[in-house]
């Protein structure tokens, strides 16, 4: 799986969770994960999570680290497994830095406050994942924690690169592991 940290700020509005967005914008074809920082504002019209739409819960973060992954030849249930693997990679990277992080499904919490948002969905050609980690906690519509404001993490780019590297290696290793067994 290919990885890229995008050095320019991008406001995540939900429309980026689309087939070939990574390829069209960054010329990375095939399975990939990219990361970038910026404001996050997903209005109900762009929401993929129907539960959030029903509950009238748009997403907002003043400054967020976003991961977008597109993976081909993957059905939605496997895509959700891969989404949870990404969440676990993020949790491990934070715990390696000494933080006690709680996970509930695809959500991460620090000191009882929500640290992340995440969704996996299926397009006509691929499975798409967006996971966002708050960098700043002020201005959110619910109590949240942030990488910098609450955990004191300043090296956001290094953190993102580490997460993408670990996630990419896990996916590649899982695929490789499936090639070394004989059928029974």
Contacts of 143 (CB under 8 A, 6+ apart): 113, 114
Per-residue pLDDT at 43: 86
Per-residue pLDDT at 62: 95
Write down the CATH superfamily of domain 2-177.
Bira Bifunctional Protein; Domain 2 (3.30.930.10)
CA pair distance 65, 107, nearest whole angstrom? 15
Stretches in the chain below the pLDDT threshold 50: none
Report residue 153: phi and psi, to 5°. -80, 120
Per-residue pLDDT at 49: 83
pLDDT tens digits, one per residue of 58-69: 889 999 999 999
Tell me the DSSP string of 81-148.
HHHHHHHHHHHHHHHHTT---EEETTEEEETTEE-EEEEEEE-SSEEEEEEEEES--TT-SS-B--TT
pLDDT tens digits, one per residue of 152-164: 999 999 999 999 9
Global pTM value? 0.95
Per-residue pLDDT at 46: 82
Per-residue pLDDT at 103: 98
CA pair distance 116, 110, nearest whole angstrom? 10
């Amino acid at each position: 799986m290919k990885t890229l940290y995008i050095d320019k700020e991008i406001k995540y509005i939900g429309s980026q969770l689309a087939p070939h967005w990574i390829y069209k914008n960054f010329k990375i074809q095939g399975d990939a994960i990219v990361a970038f920082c910026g404001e996050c504002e997903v209005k109900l019209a762009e929401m993929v999570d129907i539960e959030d739409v029903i509950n009238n819960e748009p997403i907002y973060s003043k400054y967020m680290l976003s991961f977008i992954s597109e993976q081909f030849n993957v059905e939605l249930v496997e895509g959700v497994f891969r989404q949870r693997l990404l969440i676990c990679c993020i949790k491990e990277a934070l715990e390696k830095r000494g933080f006690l992080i709680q996970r509930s499904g695809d959500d991460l919490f620090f000191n009882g406050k929500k640290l992340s948002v995440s969704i996996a969905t299926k397009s006509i050609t691929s499975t798409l994942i967006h996971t966002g980690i708050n960098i700043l906690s002020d201005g959110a519509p619910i109590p949240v924690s942030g990488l910098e404001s609450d955990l004191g993490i300043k090296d956001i780019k290094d953190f993102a690169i580490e997460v993408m590297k670990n996630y990419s290696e896990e996916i590649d290793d899982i695929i490789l592991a499936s090639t070394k067994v004989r059928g029974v």
